[in-house]
Chain A
Amino acid sequence: MSENFRSIETKFLDKTNRISFKYNGKKYYGYKGDTLASALLSNGVHLIGRSFKYHRPRGIMTCGSEEPNAIVQIGGNGSFTEPNVRATEQEIYEGLEASSQNCWPSVEFDIGGINNLISPVIPAGFYYKTFMWPKKLWYSLYEPAIRLSAGLGKSPTQPDPELYDHNHLHCDVLIVGGGISGIIAASISADNGNNTVLIDDKNSLGGSTIYQNDENFKINDEISSTWLDKKIKELKKKQNLTIKHRTSVAAFHGYNYLLARESLADHKSLDERLNKLRQRLWKIRAKKVILATGAIERPLIFNNNDRPGVMLANSVKKYIDFFGVKCGNKNIIFTNNDSAYETAISLNKKGIEVVVIDIRKNSSSTLVQTTKDAGIKIYWNHAIVNTSGYRRIKSIQIMEMSEDGTNVVGKKTSLLCDSLSISGGWTPMVHLFTQSGGKLKFRDADQVFLPNTVISDQISIGSCNGDFELDDVIKNTISECKNFLSASVIDYDLLKVSCPKQKESKNIWLLPNNKPLGKTKPFLDFQNDSTAKDIKLAMREGFKSIEHVKRYTTTGMGTDQGKLANMHALGIISETAGVKMGSLGTTTFRPPYTPLTFGTIVGRNVGTFFDITRKTPMHDWHKDHKAQFENVGQWKRAWYYPKDGENMYQAVQRESKAARESAGILDASTLGKIDIKGTDASEFLNRVYTNAWSKLGISKCRYGLMLNEDGMVYDDGVTTRLGENHYLMTTTTGGAANVLSKLEDYLQTEWPELDVWLTSVTDHFATASICGPNSKNILKKLFPNLDFNDENFPHMSFKNAEMDGINCRIMRISFTGEHSYEINIESKYGKSLWEKCMDAGKEFNITPYGTETMHLLRAEKGFIIVGQDTDGTMTPIDLQMDWIVSKKKYDFIGKRSLYRSDTMREDRKQLVGLLTDNPKEILEEGAQIVKNEKKQPIEMLGHVTSSYFSPNLNKSIALAVVKNGKKLKGQKLLVPMKDKTINVTVSDFIFFDSKNERLNA
């Protein structure tokens, strides 16, 4: 294998820049500009990997993004490794390490190859059929075994260390594809004053024309590649034009919104990319889009068409004419059309032995004439019936085809070869067009799907629009662009183009064989190992829809998404079912066009930038005092403040006791706050809360419950009347944004006549809540001039106050059941307020407490937390909060739903208290509650919503929702856990101070 296969000079590589890389641990050399595939081929390496199911040896088939076989693992172990990289797209760089996938111990000798021998017993749907029973073996045996053999490549085991970026791009005209039609379009667009962007996925422009050196293809009497080369040079000087290389459009959405991945460093060595962006995801909004995505060659489907050394004919041509690499010394070309003759001529010119096998009976094309003139042997009306060679193709067997093409006849002829080029015609790349919502039409003449109708402002040009011949491509590209861009400046009008024309055509989706289908392996989807017989089997078993056949046989479901094989699958289905291909339709083309790394998708939004973090003005104080934080929505809330090595349980017990015995302080700044103003503010509150608001006096506070229109509890909080037409509503921390938008919705759409104005002021105020028997003493110290007499400042009332000349709002409200005040101050003074409270409270052992203690204290009082004790299926009646639902009000949001037959059912799940028989035993939140464990299936009555050990009661308490709970008070129920069953008794859900005596203590 030491032979150098790069025998041909090429101007496309930098021969002065020799690069070493490793493949499967062995060192090889290539040149700057090589892809991994071209570099390996130049070293005579064809065998790249093993196929997914049968572990058959597979080699490089193509030279682009459609590659099904040559997918490799890049990088060694650890964080830089990346699986499933197409060797045909990866450029080599100094120090590149690549290895084969899906094989063990090596790609040369792979144990999994045994699957190939037993393939007759593992047909399509094998897994569905085989692992059905016995059922109990699924978890212990089948699933682990399947998982072990599933998947391609190895995932990195550490976080991706590379940098990714997102950026927006707006342009007048976006052109996708830098082949000849894309270049002409870009030139016309830019010349006519459009801000133009041209995107191409390769490192240089020109598509396949740039290496078209055949005398048969001429533009203005120059060889087409020479002409195009000049045009590209001109293009680079144009104003209004941006060219993006190594950029692949991943998705084309409606309204001309596209996502494109630009590779900035994938072709650079690890040293060169250090601290540089690896890839950038462009979010493009274009006024007009021109798709020039080209076409890819179709394989031919015959027995054992998958061996290393079997390649698409045009790819073989690119490897010679572009990379200067011959794919073998003895070449055979197998075709059904004229384009493959270009490859034959190219090979012959370089002095490489070549033979052509054509399924047609003849062709009058000038290309074929040139081939004949060169003395190349052509076998007309022949088909390949078998190939041999395990790790590299060695020989083929051909037979003559019968008159109607459905069979093979006569004697087998064997031909030796080390490279087989196949060509089954061309498939326009309509992926992006259909992603954007475009509908396809079918052209019977050459059996291709073509762009038909689409609503967004776009056109398809060149071979992705079904023009396969140079003169058509150029003529139609110019006229289409002229119309589409209303272009007046055109310097292409007088182009003279000459090229060979395709005359005879013949297409057979599944070529005939002398053996029955069941004894052959004609591969369709090379990556997923689905064959023509799998498709036929699926159809025999009753699958009719193309989408179903695809999923059952996994055709088109690999990382290449079946770019090569899907058309043949459709063809075979339509032939077998006797349905016209046009009416069969295609499977859905979904983004991304080629796989994207997660890094590209998330961009900079990783680590601390994953989501916005909201912190209260007192946050630094909490941090300095060793608080543990809890995420509540985007907020970081102090969870508990461990002291001297306390764990969470110990800290919460201490904090809870201190709050009830003397004084506790909580940062309540995160509660949602909505400022409500307007002459109809009272009426508005009447409509959105379940209780009555019209009679609430100025400077008074009231607790309100808000429902959804379906009658279920949505949010709750205390609202204070600050003035005649001015309220301050508080909402739950997590519900703030949703409540505001819900209220806006009603105001704007249902009740536009109300004079009400809503403003979110959550971030404008910081709130310190001080509770406990000494709270009043602390407040007195903080506000010496304020009258804290219970008569003048009773529970559920509000006063304005000043602290060092700064306005404060003080609400006497309580979520703990203790005598309690909430002090609101402009945010920027929040930390200072907190520190002053701590100072003033020092003599009373004021104890900061976090959300966990808050939850415990409110649970002792049986106060609900919306979202914890409720889940969108609880009415106020279910929560035993009938007292807050006004009977007098004619209407409020959700009222009518409380009288639906279902919401009135008495055996709904209702909020109750639970006491464990063993008072030391703490229930788990979320635990299921049952009555009878013996009777199967066990009826689930409900679940535990909140559970704590109460230090103030010295016993375990819990809230739960239980079916028909109101009537079960005093009854024994069971909470079955993994290792035991806990006995509980249904109780009242107010566990502590049920007469509310402490509020005024």
Chain B
Amino acid sequence: MFIINCPFCGERDQSEFSAGGEAHIVRPKQPTELSDDEWADFLFMRKNIKGIQFERWNHAHGCRKWFNVIRDTSNDKIHAVYKMGEKPPSI
């Protein structure tokens, strides 16, 4: 079980958080102009990387804030956390 450093509350147990999948997938501003394939790409296609992955997490049983996490899925090491809208820090 991880310890996640919530950018708003500090270090907390993983049980307080819920995972929200891959980060930096922006909802298209003009969905109607997308082809079926392009929309399906946004809707369904997610990476499943062994290694460094950018993820969304929600401090569900805490401040309820969403934020981003850079995690190595091969060993669960969290390299960085950063707020929504911020650029990912270089690691």
A901 near B: Cβ within 8 Å? yes
Stretch from A468-476, A746-754, A870-878 forming part of the interface with B: A746-754
B27 touches A750 (CB 8 A): yes
Closest chain A residue, CB of each to CB of B29: A891
A755 to chain B, nearest CB (A): 16
How many of B's residues come within 8 Å of A, CB to CB?
Answer: 28
In the complex with contacts A710-B43, A745-B58, A257-B1 CB distance below 8 A:
yes
User: Chain B residues near A710 (CB, 8 Å)?
Assistant: 43
A883 near B: Cβ within 8 Å? no
User: Chain A residues near B85 (CB, 8 Å)?
Assistant: 752
In the complex with contacts A257-B1, A900-B36, A895-B31 CB distance below 8 A:
yes
B34 touches A896 (CB 8 A): yes
A22 near B: Cβ within 8 Å? no
A455 touches B39 (CB 8 A): no
A896 touches B66 (CB 8 A): no
User: Chain B residues near A108 (CB, 8 Å)?
Assistant: none
User: Chain A residues near B26 (CB, 8 Å)?
Assistant: 750
Complexed CA–CA distance, A255 and B78 (Å): 10
Proximity string of chain A (893-905) to chain B, C-beta cutoff 8 Å, 1 when within and 0 when not: 0011101110000
In the complex with contacts A254-B76, A437-B76, A709-B43, A891-B31 CB distance below 8 A:
yes
B3 touches A255 (CB 8 A): yes
B20 near A: Cβ within 8 Å? yes
A744 touches B66 (CB 8 A): yes
Complexed CA–CA distance, A752 and B67 (Å): 13
In the complex with contacts A455-B75, A752-B85, A253-B66 CB distance below 8 A:
no
A888 to chain B, nearest CB (A): 12
A741 near B: Cβ within 8 Å? yes
A128 near B: Cβ within 8 Å? no
Instruction: Please report which residues of chain B, range 1-57, place their CB below 8 angstroms from some CB of chain A when the two chains form the complex.
Output: 1-3, 13, 18, 20, 26-28, 30-32, 34, 36, 39-40, 43, 56
Complexed CA–CA distance, A895 and B85 (Å): 25
Most buried by B among A255, A710, A750, A897: A255
A207 to chain B, nearest CB (A): 29
Instruction: Please report which residues of chain A, range 853-903, place their CB below 8 angstroms from some CB of chain B when the two chains form the complex.
Output: 890-891, 895-897, 899-901
Closest chain B residue, CB of each to CB of A890: B32
Complexed CA–CA distance, A709 and B40 (Å): 11
Tell me which of B1, B13, B65, B76 contacts A748 (CB under 8 A).
B65
User: Chain A residues near B43 (CB, 8 Å)?
Assistant: 709-710, 897
User: Chain A residues near B64 (CB, 8 Å)?
Assistant: 741, 744
A170 to chain B, nearest CB (A): 11
B84 near A: Cβ within 8 Å? yes
User: Chain A residues near B58 (CB, 8 Å)?
Assistant: 741, 744-745
B84 touches A748 (CB 8 A): yes
Most buried by B among A710, A744, A749: A749
Instruction: Please report which residues of chain A, range 486-514, place their CB below 8 angstroms from some CB of chain B when the two chains form the complex.
Output: none
In the complex with contacts A254-B1, A254-B2, A255-B3, A741-B60 CB distance below 8 A:
yes
Complexed CA–CA distance, A890 and B13 (Å): 41
A891 touches B75 (CB 8 A): no
Instruction: Please report which residues of chain A, range 732-768, place their CB below 8 angstroms from some CB of chain B when the two chains form the complex.
Output: 741, 744-745, 748-750, 752
Complexed CA–CA distance, A896 and B41 (Å): 13
Complexed CA–CA distance, A257 and B12 (Å): 13
Proximity string of chain B (48-90) to chain A, C-beta cutoff 8 Å, 1 when within and 0 when not: 0000000010101000111000000001110000001100000
Complexed CA–CA distance, A896 and B27 (Å): 11
B39 touches A896 (CB 8 A): yes
Complexed CA–CA distance, A895 and B30 (Å): 11
Complexed CA–CA distance, A895 and B28 (Å): 12
Tell me which of A285, A741, A900 contacts B40 (CB under 8 A).
A900
Complexed CA–CA distance, A901 and B66 (Å): 33
Instruction: Please report which residues of chain A, range 247-262, place their CB below 8 angstroms from some CB of chain B when the two chains form the complex.
Output: 253-255, 257
Complexed CA–CA distance, A900 and B37 (Å): 9
A974 to chain B, nearest CB (A): 36
Complexed CA–CA distance, A897 and B27 (Å): 13
Complexed CA–CA distance, A772 and B80 (Å): 59
Most buried by A among B26, B31, B85: B31
Closest chain A residue, CB of each to CB of B1: A257
Most buried by A among B1, B2, B20, B58: B1
Complexed CA–CA distance, A684 and B34 (Å): 23
Complexed CA–CA distance, A897 and B3 (Å): 37
A711 to chain B, nearest CB (A): 9
Instruction: Please report which residues of chain A, range 749-791, place their CB below 8 angstroms from some CB of chain B when the two chains form the complex.
Output: 749-750, 752
Instruction: Please report which residues of chain A, range 458-484, place their CB below 8 angstroms from some CB of chain B when the two chains form the complex.
Output: none
B79 to chain A, nearest CB (A): 11
Complexed CA–CA distance, A744 and B65 (Å): 8
A891 touches B36 (CB 8 A): no
User: Chain A residues near B31 (CB, 8 Å)?
Assistant: 891, 895-896
Closest chain A residue, CB of each to CB of B40: A900
User: Chain B residues near A744 (CB, 8 Å)?
Assistant: 58, 64, 66
User: Chain B residues near A900 (CB, 8 Å)?
Assistant: 36, 39-40
User: Chain B residues near A437 (CB, 8 Å)?
Assistant: 75-76
Closest chain B residue, CB of each to CB of A437: B75
A745 touches B77 (CB 8 A): no
Closest chain A residue, CB of each to CB of B36: A900
B62 to chain A, nearest CB (A): 13
B66 touches A748 (CB 8 A): yes
**What are 29 inter-chain pairs, A to B, with CB distance below 8 A?**
A254-B1, A254-B2, A254-B75, A255-B2, A255-B3, A257-B1, A285-B3, A285-B13, A437-B75, A437-B76, A455-B75, A455-B77, A709-B43, A710-B43, A741-B18, A741-B60, A744-B64, A744-B66, A745-B58, A745-B66, A749-B56, A749-B66, A890-B32, A891-B30, A891-B32, A895-B31, A897-B39, A900-B36, A901-B36
7 further A-B pairs in the complex, CB-CB below 8 A; given A255-B76, A741-B18, A741-B60 = A254-B75, A255-B3, A709-B27, A748-B84, A749-B56, A749-B66, A891-B31
Interface positions of B (Cβ within 8 A of A): 1-3, 13, 18, 20, 26-28, 30-32, 34, 36, 39-40, 43, 56, 58, 60, 64-66, 75-77, 84-85
Smallest CB-CB A-B distances: 7 pairs: A896-B31, A257-B1, A748-B66, A254-B76, A750-B27, A455-B75, A255-B3
